[in-house]
Chain A
Amino acid sequence: MREKILTVIERNSRIDTKELSVILGVEEIDIVNELAALESEGIICGYHTLIDWEKTSIEKVTALIEVRVTPQRGQGFDSIAERIYKYPEVTSVYLISGGFDLLVTLEGKSLKEISGFVSDKLSTLDTVLSTATHFILKKYKDHGTILAKKYEDTREKVTP
Chain B
Amino acid sequence: MRNPLSDKAVGLKPSGIRKFFDIVNEMDDVISLSVGEPDFDTPWHIRDEGIYSLEKGRTFYTSNAGLKELKEEICNYLKRKQGVEYNPLNEVFVTVGGSEGIDAAMRAMLNPGDEVLIPQPSFVSYEPCAVLAGGVPVIIELKEENEFRLTAQELEQAITDKTKLLVLPFPNNPTGAIMEKKDLEEIAEVIIKNDIYVMSDEIYAELTYKDKHVSIAEIPGMKERAILINGFSKAYAMTGWRLGYACGPKEIIAQMLKIHQFAIMCAPTTSQYAAVEALRNGDEDVAQMREEYNQRRRYLLYAFKEMGIKCFEPFGAFYVFPSIKEFGMTSDEFATRFLQEEKVAAVPGTAFGDCGEGFLRISYAYSLDNLKIAMGRLADFVERLRKEQKG
A: which residues have CB within 8 A of B? 4, 7-8, 19, 22-25, 153, 155-160
Contact = CB atoms under 8 A, between A and B. Distances in A.
Contacts of A156: 21, 35
Contacts, number: 54
Interface of B: 15, 17, 20-21, 24-25, 30, 32, 34-37, 39, 123-125, 173, 291, 294-296, 298-299, 302, 345, 347, 351-352, 368
Contact of B298 (A7, A22, A160): A22
- 4 closest A-B pairs by beta carbon, nearest first, are A23-B295, A158-B21, A158-B34, A159-B36
A160 B39 contact: no
22 contacts: A22-B299, A23-B295, A23-B296, A23-B368, A25-B294, A25-B298, A155-B37, A156-B35, A157-B21, A157-B25, A157-B30, A157-B34, A157-B35, A158-B21, A158-B24, A158-B25, A158-B347, A159-B17, A159-B36, A160-B15, A160-B17, A160-B124
Contact of B295 (A8, A155, A158): A8
B39 A155 contact: yes
Contacts of A19: 299
A8 B368 CA distance: 12
Contacts of A25: 294, 298
A23 B25 contact: no
B282 to A, nearest CB: 19
A5 B67 CA distance: 41
Contacts of B347: 158
A4 B36 CA distance: 26
Contacts of A22: 298-299, 302
A23 B123 CA distance: 28
B359 to A, nearest CB: 15
A157 B368 CA distance: 17
B299 A157 contact: no
Contacts of B296: 23
B109 to A, nearest CB: 23
Most buried by A among B173, B298, B345: B298
Nearest to B367: A151
A23 B351 CA distance: 29
Given A155-B39, A158-B21, 4 more contacts: A23-B299, A157-B30, A158-B20, A160-B173
